[in-house]
Structures are given as C-alpha cells and as structure tokens.
Structure 1
Amino acid sequence: MLCLPPRGGSNDPTSGHHRRRRPARRSGARRRGRRLPARRRPRTRPRPPLLVARADRGGRRRPGRRRGRLRAAGQAEGLPGHQAGRRSRQLAAMRRRGRPGRRRVARGELRLVEEFADALEPSPRAGVVVGVVGGNGGAGASLLSACLALAASRRKLRTLLVDADPLGGGIDVLLGQEEAKGARWADFVSREGRVSSAALQAALPAFGELTVLAFHRGEVEAIPPGAMRSVLEAGRRGFDLVVVDLPRHVDAAAAEALSRASSTLLLVTADVRGVLAAAQVLGEIRRHTGAVGMVLRPGVLEESVVAASLDLPCAGHLADQPRLAAALNKGDLTLIDRRSVLGHFCATLLTDLMAA
C-alpha cells in the first residue's frame, strides 16, 4: 500500500498565495514551492493523504466505507485484485437496484455459529440417517420406510420419518395421519441454513416417539437441496434415527439426502424386469453414495443371481405380509405388530442398522 502526500486543492497550505514561485532551473522542469513554517500556515484542516490499494493502483478516489465493505466481500470470495474490484462494482449495482448482495461468511465464523447453536440445543444426539428407495414401481419402499420408523419408535428411539418423494401417495397416509396438524414440506422449502432440532420436532406432527415430515395435498413444490440439508442436519442432531423415503428418480434433494445417508436400502423384486429396473436406479444412486444394501422381495430368481447381477450385498428378505392390503386401506399400520412377518423383519433390520 502506498501513501501519497496531499497536493493541491483549496485547503492545501502550499497552494494559491501561500506558494512562492521561483524560476525553474531548466526547461520543462517542475516548479516547486517552498513549504512555509508551521507558525505561518493558515489554520485550515489539511486534506488527508491518498491511500492507493493494490487493487486500485493508479486510482485517485478514496474508497468510502461502503466501497470498503464491498471490496472486502470480493476478497472474501478468493478473487484476484482486478476481479475483486469488478465484483465490488457488481455488488454496488445490486445495492442501487434494491437487491443487497449477500456477504459470504468465513468458514471460521460459520463454525463458531454452529458451536454456539450446538451448545444451546438440549442434549444433542448423533442420529443415523437411512435412505429407502424402490428398485421398481410398487416394490414397497414407502411401506418399508414407515414400518422401519414404527419399529424404531416402539423401541423408544426418537425417530424422524421424512417423505422425499413429491409424487408419492404421502407417507402420512400410510400411517393414517394425513389430517394431523403440523408443518409440511411447504413450510420448509424456503428455509436455508441451520434449523433447530427442537423447533423442528415441535413444528411437525408427532405420534409418541415418531415425528413425520410429509407433503401437502394438491400442487407439490420441489424440495430445494438447502432445505433437505437443513432438515437432515437437524434430524441428525435431535433424533436417534432418520428414515428418508426416496424417489426412484434422483433429483437434487434426493441427491442431497443420499450423500448424507449412513446407509441406503434398495428394494429389489426377484424377477427379470425388477432386476433390470433396479440396475437403472442403482446406477443413479451410486453417483451420490457407496453405502447401498439390497432388500430382496420374493420372485422367480434366486438371491445369488440377483446379488451377482447388481453386485450388492443382501441386507435381508422381505416376505409378503398377509392381510397387508386391508391394513393399508384402513391406514392403520399398528395392526402389523412385532410378531408379524413385516414387523419381525423391520426389528431385525433395525438392529443391524443401528449397530453399523
């Protein structure tokens, strides 16, 4: 940084009648004035020196307070000097148009904010996030998600069930709680940043130890990745288990959930068409996570053939549940107790997931 002394102007003590001129020594030489003693200088406020920063070398205008803040924003983004100046002008134009630009916060400041927020939250937990996705339509991913969450709540584990499939029938309908009061995804799509786990649990519909986040009926708005990230991070801090019912088509929100899941279960029907469809879904899933296990539904193919075709370990066999259609139409999954086929399978699978 260079500091140039003041020169010229109405307040300069060496300008006007205060400057004594004398002939130049040679042609083209610059005329210089003799500086007056301090006791003979007029009592005027001198002009402050001109500061020239590296990004403004050659400029004549002093940066004001707002310009300094904008320049700091450009340098906080890691831009070189000339690009920092350009970014500052862009942010200044945004302010003039009434759209204030966001100042990027340093990672250290974000970490400090998170540490303070963690200290304020009561008894933070380290929850397990599990994703469930169907290999083909009607494989039963939503049913397995709901039953797995119910099995965890019966063990007195604080559980969060997240419906991430906007085109599904609604995870709350499976539980018979579509009329329950509480927040839905439409109340979280505009949220970014940190969400308190206590506030999340208080806002959502809860049934004992089970808390559910589903969609509203009617027109559905896509889930932004930032909203999914905030919900899952709050769920990890405030719950023992987070079960996410994922869509077969991996959108941005599903990709965010897959990247944060401890394990992902892929339901595969043991027939030719089911295996081929599951292979297509698996290719999309593996772009975002590597912790994928297979849950096999009954079919004509053997487990070894399906496992070799998909190159996946088998997490268990999900057999058909008697009188399941009647229970689903009533919206009452409590009929499926621990002694049922589905209840016993979910209890065994839950033990393996929590141990891992």
Structure 2
Amino acid sequence: MNALVISANPGLVDEVRRLAAAASVEVTVARDAAEARNALQRAALVLIGADLPGRIPRREGVIVLARGATVPVYRRAMELGAERVAVLPDEEAWLTERMARACLPGAFGRQVSVTGARGGAGASVFATTLALMAARAGARVLLVDLDAGGGGLDALLGLEGVPGTRWPDLAGLRGRLAPRALEEAVPSARGVGVLSHAHDRPCQVRHEVLSSVLAAARGAYDLVVADRPRDVELPVETGDRAVLLVPAEVRGVLAARSVPAGPDETLLVTRGPAPGRLAPRAVAESLCLPLAGHYDFERGVPAAVERAAPPVRGRLARLCARLLDGPLAA
C-alpha cells in the first residue's frame, strides 16, 4: 500500500519522499487533482499540499501539508475534509509514523497505559505484572516508566544497576528514533524491555520526545505498557487502551474523578480491600467506566517486589492474564 502526494511544490514533494523513505513507504506523486484521479481511491493515505487548487472527492485518510499553521490553511483543510494539518518541518516525526501506520498495516504494536487514581494505588506493580504476563504468553513487550519522580521502574525488575538507555539519555532526541535502535539500547529482564527514568538523573521528557520514542516502541514491540502518572499527557492512537486502577474506597473514587481522560477505551480495575464494603460495580457506576476486573491486595507481593521479583502467580497475575486475553487483546 502506498501514499499519494498531491502537490506542485517540488520542495514539499522531496520532503515527503525523504520521510516516506525513512518509513519504508512507497509514494505516488500527482501535480493536481486531475492527475491524481486514478490513484486517489487506491492510496492508503492522501497528502495534499496547501498549494493545491480545487477540490478532490471526499474520503478518509486525507492530510493537508503546510509550512505554517494559518487560518486559510485550516479553512482549506475543512473544505477537503482532512483529518489533520501537518505543519512541516515541526511535525515530521508524526507524519513519518502516520505514513507507516497507514501503509504498513500490522507493523505496529499496541499500547496500554496504566494510571492509578491516587498515590499508592499500585499502578507500577500492576503495569509490571501486565508486562510480565504478556511476555510469558510470547509477546515482545516494552515497559515504559513515565513517572519522573518514582525512583525508576527498572528497580522492580532488578535492572537499576544494569547498563542501558534511560529517559535522560533520550532527552535531547530530535526527529525519528529507529525501532531497532531502541530495542537494542534498553535493558531487559524476564522477556520485558524496560525504558525507565533514572533515580540519579532527574529528567523531564518533552512531549515531542515522548511521541518519537513511543512511535519507535510500537515499531519494535508487540505491546507497550506505560506506567502513566495522572499528570502525563500520553500520545494515543486508534486501538490504544488504558487501565484506571482505583482502590475500592471513597477517597479512591473521588481521586479517580479528577484523572484526565485517556483513550476512548479506558477500562476500570478496582483493588481491595474495601474498608467500607464499597462494591466494584458501585465504583464503576460512579465513574461511568466499564469494570474490567477486581483483585484484592496480596500480602506477599510487596516483599516480592522488594526482591525485584514481581510474582507471575496469584490473583493479580491471573487478572492480568485474563485482561490480555480479553478486553486488552489486539
């Protein structure tokens, strides 16, 4: 499947060709709508230069390319029924991934984010267990730590002293990151790659860096599991899912109401014990979210985590396996 570029601007066409080559995508070029007529419906993605006069038949997968975000450009995009205006060169990384996603179906993994309704909800342990259970089922998995103040998620798998790339090493990234380069750089344990924050090198990750790294992760792994704090805005794609982990208590429910919205497919998991006998279904009804499962706190888990050996047996592990086979399945 290829992308169709409609533009009479040679510089713009050359730029798209360069990005397409980086994504291993073939492109067809037309100078106007008449020349593009035969290829328009066959193309997986249509990229239209803002310089194009006239109209084209409406269809999905149309993007307007522009050098600047101006009112006339957005008006033009609305006339064409475009899904987005891609401003170049600022959005090169996004456009490269969008071409790859449209033209190379099946080449990208899926992403699941896990967010705790409040501190201490157990999101990091849940995300790690989910990653371990996916790896045990044969998936290539990357566990991504998005909590800059969490001390490093690599410690949960005993990787804090193992050489490899952490977020501070990627802070200065510009443009696209190759999937293979990411896969080869991060440390791994028990079949799970881990991209962690570093406890001795605080780092704030810019949104464009996060987008580029997650795009590479999707290209390298079958599943990306992100431990996402409440205040981190995560780039999402169609088919992405999120898990909101809520302790079965009034305080947990109240905290969950202020968690920023994630992907459309956000699933609720509740965790016991419930001191006031708050039922999981009552939590789901209060938050208007589908209840995907419930598990009770297991006394042996904190000690196992302290030994860098999160268990792959027990109630939490069984729940994660069930979610991977059910609502979190591809």
Distance 1:113 1:162 in 2: 19
Q: What is the 5 A alignment of 1:104-123?
A: 104-105=88-89
| CA displacement at 1:215 relative to structure 2 | 1.1
Partner of 2:301: 324
For residue 120 of structure 2, what is the aligned residue in structure 1?
138
Q: Does 1:352 align with 2:330?
A: no
Contact 1:268 1:294 in 2 (8 A): yes
Partner residue, 2:245: 267
Taking every aligned residue pair, what percent have the same amino acid on both sides? 35
Q: Distance in 1 between matches of 2:299 and 2:284?
A: 26
Code of the residue aligned with 1:317 in structure 2: it is H
The alpha-carbon distance between structure 1 residues 261 and 212, as it changes in their structure 2 partners (threshold 3 A), is: farther
| Aligned partner of residue 280 in structure 1, secondary structure | coil
Q: Matched residue pairs, number?
A: 248
Distance 2:92 2:166 in 1: 33
**Counterparts of 2:95 and 2:236 in 1: how far apart (Å)?**
24
Structure 2 residues without counterparts, runs of 5 or longer: 1-65, 72-86
- Paired residues of 2:114 and 2:226 also in contact (CA < 8 A): yes
1:159-178 equivalence runs, <5 A:
159-178=141-160
Q: Which of these residues, 278, 295, 300, is aligned with residue 269 of structure 2?
A: 295
Partner of 2:254: 276
SS in 1 for 2:298: coil
Name the one with the larger helix percent: 1
Instruction: Report the alpha carbon displacement of residue 228 of structure 1 after superposing the two structures with TM.
Output: 0.7
**Post-superposition shift, 1:318?**
2.0
Partner of 1:220: 202
SS in 2 for 1:266: strand
Higher percent of residues as strand: 2
Instruction: Give the letter aligned to residue 211 of structure 2.
Output: R
Q: Where does the alignment leave 5 or more consecutive residues of structure 1 unmatched?
A: 1-74, 81-102
RMSD over equivalenced CA pairs, Å? 3.2
1:296/1:158 CA distance change after superposition, 3 Å:
same
Residue number among 57, 60, 67 corresponding to 1:76 in the alignment:
67
Q: Which residue of 1 aligns with 2:312?
A: 337
DSSP-derived class of the 2:113 partner = strand
* Alpha-carbon contact 1:159-1:210 (below 8 Å) kept: yes
Please give the residue correspondences for 1:224-243 in structure 2 after superposition, counting only pairs within 5 Å: 224-243=206-225
CA gap 1:342/1:160 in 2 versus in 1, 3 angstroms: same
Rounded Cα–Cα distance in structure 2 between residues aligned with 1:112 and 1:316: 37
What is the alpha-carbon distance in structure 1 between the residues aligned to residue 218 and residue 166 of structure 2? Answer: 19
Query: Cα offset for 1:220?
Result: 1.1
Cα distance in structure 1, aligned partners of 2:107 and 2:70: 39
Partners of 1:154 and 1:314 in 2: how far apart?
A: 25
- Hey, what's the Cα distance between the residues in 1 that align with 2:118 and 2:226? 17
* Whole-angstrom CA distance in 1 between matches of 2:145 and 2:111: 13
The counterpart of 2:161, out of the listed 179, 190, 196, is: 179
TM-score relative to the length of structure 2: 0.67
Q: Take 1:106 and 1:278, find their aligned partners in 2: how far apart are those partners?
A: 35
Change (3 A) 1:114 1:349: closer
**Counterparts of 1:235 and 1:112 in 2: how far apart (Å)?**
14
Greater mean alpha carbon deviation, residues 104-113 or residues 181-190: 104-113
How far apart in 2 are the matches of 1:78 and 1:109? Answer: 17
> Are the counterparts in 2 of residues 118 and 124 from structure 1 also a CA contact under 8 Å?
no
2:288 alignment partner, one of 284, 307, 311: 311
- In structure 1, C-alpha distance between the alignment counterparts of 2:228 and 2:116, rounded to whole Å: 8
Alignment of 1:198-217 (within 5 A): 198-207=180-189, 209-217=191-199
Shift of 1:109: 11
Separation (CA, whole Å) in 2 of partners of 1:211 and 1:156: 13
- CA pair 76-160 structure 1, distance change in 2 beyond 3 A: same
How big is each residue's C-alpha offset from its partner over 1:115-149, in whole Å with a ceiling of 9 and x where there is no partner? 69999x9x973211000000011110000000000
Distance 1:227 1:353, change over 3 A: farther
Bigger radius of gyration: 1
Which residue of structure 2 aligns with residue 87 of structure 1?
A: none
